[in-house]
Structure formats: C-alpha cells, structure tokens
Amino acid sequence: MYSEIFERLGLSPNEAKIYETMLSTGETSVVEISTKANIHRRNVYDSLNRLVEKGLVSPIFQKGENRYQAVHPDKLLEIVKSEERQLMAVLPQLRKIFASEPSTESAYIYKGIEGYKNYRRDLLRVADEAFFLGAKGLWRSPQIDQSFRDAYVKKFEKTIPHKVLFDPRVATLLPEALEDTKGHYRMLPKGYETPGVVDIFSDYVVTFVSVGIGNVGEQVTIFVMRNKELAESYKTWFRFIWDMCA
C-alpha cells in the first residue's frame, strides 16, 4: 500500500516492502519478515543492512537469532529534509550550469514529414530571430495537418522576428504564403529559382534539398549544422542579398 511511496523516496522495492511490513509487526525476526513480506531470506538480510544504514531499522542484538524493529516513520521526513538541504546547497551552481551557453558544434539530419515537424519545433524552442533564404511556403505542404500548423507555424509567425526571401515562383504559384508571413519578406528576382532552401537562426544553419513550392515532400532530407561562426557568416550573406532585393 505504501511501498510505492517509499520507493519514490529512494528505497529499493525490497527495502520498501520490508519497511512497510515491519511498521505493523514491531520487534521481529528475519524469518518472520521473509514470510510476511514474501522475500527470500538472503535478500531480506541485504535489505535490512541497508535499512539499518539509512536509520530506518534498528537491530536488537540477543542470543540466537537477532531481531529487528522499524524506526518511527518520522525518520523518513528527516531523510527527505536532509536530501533537500544537500540539493539546496548545490542548486545555485546547477542553475549557473543550466543557464550557461554551451559551446556546441553538431551536425545531424532530419528525414520525412516528422523530421520537418521536429525542425519547426526547434524554431520555437530556440526562439531567436530567423532568416529564410529561397523560402517556398513549405508550412503549407499538404502533408502538414492544420492542428500542427496552428500550434507551431502560426505561433512562430506571431512571436519570433524573422525575415523571408521568397523563391520568385511563390508569388504566382502560392501567393497565400505571402499573406501568411507576418515578418518582413522580399522576393528573389526571376532567374534565381532553386530546389533548395537555407534557414538560419541562432547558431543553426538548416538546408533543405529537392523541395517544391508549398510542398516539403514525403522523403525530404533536412541537414542541420550548429556552429556559431558558420551561422554568423550565413546571416551576413543573407543581409547582403536582402539589401540587394530592396
């Protein structure tokens, strides 16, 4: 009944079962504990020794077989408070570690529609200004359900600053994508159509290949590179192209 709570406080399953059993038995022997808790006697000895070390069981030494008695359950509260004090002592350092910006470099690949959805989640999670080069309105792909579009795409449009340089075909093939874009957008000139897309945000550079206008495709491959210097370089190039398309 209570053993699950004891386990959450750090006791092993056998320790929890034995301590719960001993709370109602008073002074008792290993044989009695083994029978009532339904635990092999050899395992009872091991668990009892650990409970003694934790201060939850007291051994009673006498001739013949030793007997044991559970310590008052208030001891559990003492253990919890002691662990809380230990945690509070290191918590400021843990917060600093969590808040520090890790020096991270990585490269990985997302595949397929679920990969594209994971990428959109990354955009929201990082929540940094984003730049889209050769954009094709992929969020309007027929494979993307409306609920996901509402939860992730529209939220991004409303909350995160971004600039979009659209593929020149979007204006005629998918004009509604221009209406979706709440950030600043410009059009690449005719003659600069490509099958690729480059997105840059924070220290990420993300490239798509073989995607269509408003269609990410079932087998899309998304290459993700994380490197601060690389991302800053791409942002500089983006700004140059942006200015040229004014």
Stretch 136-157: mean pLDDT: 85
Q: Are residues 124 and 227 in the same domain?
A: yes
Last residue of a domain, one of 74, 97, 120: 97
* pLDDT score of 63: 66
Last residue of a domain, one of 97, 127, 146: 97
Cα angle 55, 61, 65; round to 5: 115
Q: Are residues 122 and 166 in the same domain?
A: yes
Tell me if residue 80 falls in helix, strand or coil: helix
Give the CATH number for residue 8. 1.10.10.10
Q: Are residues 55 and 111 in the same domain?
A: no
Q: Are residues 93 and 118 in the same domain?
A: no
- Domain total of the chain: 2
Stretch 14-40: mean pLDDT: 90
Q: Are residues 70 and 114 in the same domain?
A: no
Per cent of the chain over pLDDT 70 is 96
Cα–Cα distance between 74 and 156 in angstroms, integer? Answer: 50
Q: Are residues 21 and 56 in the same domain?
A: yes
Sheet (strand 67-70) strand order? 28-29, 67-70, 57-60
Cα–Cα distance between 111 and 117 in angstroms, integer? Answer: 10
Q: Measured between alpha carbons, how far is residue 150 from residues 119, 127, 130 in Å?
A: 15, 17, 19
Helices and strands (H, E) in the chain, number of each type: 11, 10
Q: Are residues 123 and 205 in the same domain?
A: yes
* pLDDT score of 131: 96
101 pLDDT band, cuts 50/70/90, is low
pTM above the 0.75 mark? no
Of 105, 130, 108, nearest to 201 (Cα)?
130
Tell me if residue 163 falls in helix, strand or coil: strand
Of 146, 143, 134, 126, nearest to 203 (Cα)?
126
Q: Are residues 217 and 143 in the same domain?
A: yes
* pLDDT score of 102: 58
Go through 71-101 and write b for each residue having 16 or more CB atoms within 10 A of its CB, e for each that does not: beeeebeeeeeeeeeeeeeeeeeeeeeeeee
Which domain does 80 fall in, by range? Answer: 3-97
Q: Are residues 150 and 235 in the same domain?
A: yes
pLDDT, tens digit (0-9, with 9 covering 90-100), for 199-226: 999 999 999 988 999 998 888 899 999 9
- DSSP state, 211? -
Q: Are residues 128 and 34 in the same domain?
A: no
Q: Are residues 211 and 117 in the same domain?
A: yes
Over 80: is that where the pLDDT of 162 sits?
yes
Q: Measured between alpha carbons, how far is residue 26 from residues 56, 59, 62, 70, 214 in Å?
A: 13, 12, 16, 7, 73
Q: Are residues 232 and 192 in the same domain?
A: yes
* pLDDT score of 62: 72
Q: Measured between alpha carbons, how far is residue 218 from residues 44, 114, 195, 212 in Å?
A: 57, 9, 15, 11
pLDDT, tens digit (0-9, with 9 covering 90-100), for 35-71: 988 999 889 989 999 999 999 999 988 766 788 999 9
Last residue of a domain, one of 80, 97, 114: 97
* pLDDT score of 8: 87
User: Between these two residues, 68 and 158, which has the higher pLDDT value?
Assistant: 68
Give the CATH number for residue 127. 3.30.870.10
Of 142, 184, 152, 148, nearest to 165 (Cα)?
184
